[in-house]
Structures are given as structure tokens and as C-alpha cells.
């Protein structure tokens, strides 16, 4: 089994990005989930893509997939036309960035709200993602809708998006910590796992989105392993954990522990 690691694992100020990539590779990870700038409005463009390509090559890492961006001022499902338009622009940039680095998926979040507000935002998101389909086809990078919480939100958004788009255009990102908070793993296995293309694996105690190492919370990792095996998931399993005060300040030690936990809990 091989493992991927999510890039933005620091809580406080980050050391240099190239240095972090080298440490990730030295710990035994072979792929990266690029999650830097997921709340920012910067665009990478060709120059940023080339710079990231050089960093990955020097570290000996491959890009697996990327997290889309969803800052408050740029969400493709927003009722504000300028915010919605900027969300599409940023996702276009990140699709091309991901494709340029050899990745195969871009994770997106569901819209916020509930009831009629959520339904309206979902309609706007579907329209915006439809505009992105040509870029998906151009780059070969699929979109992946991530489960959030509460479970009622997933139950509205995930089936609607998976039915609105072809599997070649949109799949599913399983977030184990979010599912543990929402308590909807059974539902996700039935309704979303058949379209699984990205994993965000981390632990918590069910009360908050703590991004703990596997084994430090209440996620049933034996069940997770079984469900991933049942759908034949083939990509390296990706950890989306945070180097909080709980784990100390030694980056290399934290990454080594993360790889050991992945091996122990994920097989």
C-alpha cells in the first residue's frame, strides 16, 4: 500500500514549501494532495505550475490531486454574480494547474445553507460546474464533491451533483473525519462510494473537525479499510492531518509518525 499526504499540515507559520515537500518524501510518502491556497484567490497560471513542477521533481513526489479554492469572496455557488464568476475562474486555474502537474482530480466543497437557500445555491453550483466541463475535458482532471456536515446537507447535495454530471466529469471525495462528525458513513457507502476518486483520511472524536492522525479518534478504521477495498479504490490513500500542538513542533518526526499510523491503520 502506498500513501499520499496533504500539503497544508501546519497550524502556524509554514517553513518553505520546497522544504516541506522534501520532508514529506523522506517520511515515505510518494504522492501529494496539493491543498495550499485553498482559501486564497491567487492564480497559479503557467509560471506557478512550472515552479510547483520543479519543487515536486526535486522532492521526488508525484501530484495525485488538488483541493479547489473556496474563499468567502469567490464561491461558484454564490448569489453574488462577481463572487460566482471568480469562483469559476479560480477553479479553471486549478484544474489546469492540476492537469499540468499530472494530477487527476480537483476537490470541491458543497454549497452552504439549508432548505430553500441550499437548493438555490445548489442550482447555481450545477450551472457553474457545467461551465467547467470543457476545462475538465481539456485537462483530464475530474471534479470531486467532498462530504461535509451535517448529514442532511450531504443528502441534498451529493446525489444531485452525482446525477447531474457524468462520472468522467465529477466523482466523490470521501472525508473520513467529516463522516465521523456527521455519522453518515452508511449513507455515503450506498450513495457516494461508487463514484469515489479522492480520499481525505483523518480522525477526530466526533465533536469537531480535528484532523488527527488515524487511531487518535473514534473513526472505525477497520470499517474504512473494508469499504475502500469493497469499491476497489486503487489510488494511494491520502492523509489530511494537521500538525497541531498535540504532536509537537518537529516536522520530520510528525511526518514519520503519520506514515507509521497510515501503515498501521490503513494497511
pLDDT of residue 1: 84
Q: Are strands 142-146 and 170-175 parallel, antiparallel or unpaired?
A: parallel
- How far is it, in rounded angstroms, from Cα 78 to Cα 118? 11
- How far is it, in rounded angstroms, from Cα 129 to Cα 81? 14
**Domain boundaries defined on the chain:** 3-266
For residue 229, the 8-state DSSP code is: H
**pLDDT over 70, % of the chain:** 99
The domain made up of 3-266 has a fold known as TIM Barrel (3.20.20)
Predicted confidence (pLDDT) at residue 12 exceeds the cutoff of 80: no
Task: Report pTM.
Answer: 0.97
pLDDT-derived band at 10 (thresholds 50, 70, 90) equals confident
Helix/strand/coil for 65? strand
- Nearest 5°: the CA angle 185, 141, 126 is 65
Q: Please answer whether residues 88 and 132 qualify as being in contact, where contact means their C-beta atoms are separated by less than 8 angstroms.
A: yes
Beta strands in 168-227 (DSSP E): 170-175, 196-200
Q: In 10 A of CB 197, how many CB atoms? A: 19
Helix/strand/coil for 192? coil
Helix/strand/coil for 39? coil
Residue 169, preceding bond cis, omega within 30 degrees?
Answer: no
| Per-residue model confidence as pLDDT tens digits over 30-72 | 999 999 999 999 999 999 999 999 999 999 999 999 999 999 9
pLDDT-derived band at 15 (thresholds 50, 70, 90) equals confident
pLDDT-derived band at 202 (thresholds 50, 70, 90) equals very high
- How far is it, in rounded angstroms, from Cα 252 to Cα 19? 11
- How far is it, in rounded angstroms, from Cα 248 to Cα 237? 24
| Per-residue model confidence as pLDDT tens digits over 135-169 | 999 999 999 999 999 999 999 999 999 999 999 99
pLDDT of residue 41: 97
Q: What is the mean pLDDT of the chain?
A: 97
> For the residues 252-257, what does the mean pLDDT come to?
97
Amino acid at each position: 500500500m502506498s500513501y499520499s499526504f496533504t500539503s497544508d499540515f501546519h497550524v502556524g507559520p509554514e517553513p518553505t514549501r520546497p522544504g516541506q515537500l522534501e520532508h514529506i518524501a523522506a517520511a515515505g510518502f510518494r504522492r501529494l494532495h496539493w491543498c495550499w491556497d485553498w482559501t486564497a484567490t491567487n492564480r497559479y497560471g503557467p509560471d506557478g505550475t512550472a515552479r510547483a513542477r520543479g519543487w515536486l521533481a526535486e522532492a521526488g513526489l508525484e501530484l495525485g490531486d488538488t483541493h479547489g479554492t473556496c474563499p468567502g469572496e469567490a464561491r461558484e455557488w454564490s448569489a453574488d454574480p462577481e463572487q460566482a464568476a471568480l469562483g469559476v475562474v479560480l477553479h479553471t486555474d486549478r484544474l489546469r494547474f492540476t492537469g499540468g502537474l499530472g494530477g487527476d482530480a480537483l476537490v470541491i466543497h458543497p454549497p452552504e445553507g439549508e432548505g430553500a437557500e441550499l437548493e438555490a445555491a445548489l442550482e447555481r453550483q450545477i450551472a457553474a460546474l457545467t461551465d467547467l466541463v470543457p476545462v475538465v475535458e481539456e485537462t483530464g482532471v475530474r471534479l470531486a464533491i467532498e462530504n461535509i456536515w451535517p448529514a442532511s446537507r450531504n443528502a441534498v447535495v451529493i446525489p444531485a451533483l452525482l446525477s447531474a454530471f457524468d462520472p468522467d466529469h465529477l466523482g466523490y471525495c470521501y472525508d473520513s473525519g467529516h463522516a465521523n462528525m456527521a455519522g453518515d458513513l452508511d449513507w455515503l457507502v450506498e450513495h457516494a462510494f461508487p463514484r469515489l476518486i479522492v480520499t481525505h483520511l483523518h480522525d477526530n472524536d466526533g465533536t469537531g473537525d480535528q484532523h488527527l492522525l488515524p487511531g487518535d479518534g473514534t473513526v472505525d478504521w477497520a470499517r474504512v479499510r473494508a469499504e475502500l477495498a469493497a469499491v476497489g479504490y486503487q489510488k494511494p490513500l491520502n492523509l489530511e492531518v494537521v500538525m497541531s500542538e498535540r504532536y509537537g513542533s518537529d516536522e520530520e518526526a510528525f511526518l514519520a509518525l503519520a506514515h507509521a499510523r497510515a501503515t498501521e491503520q490503513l494497511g
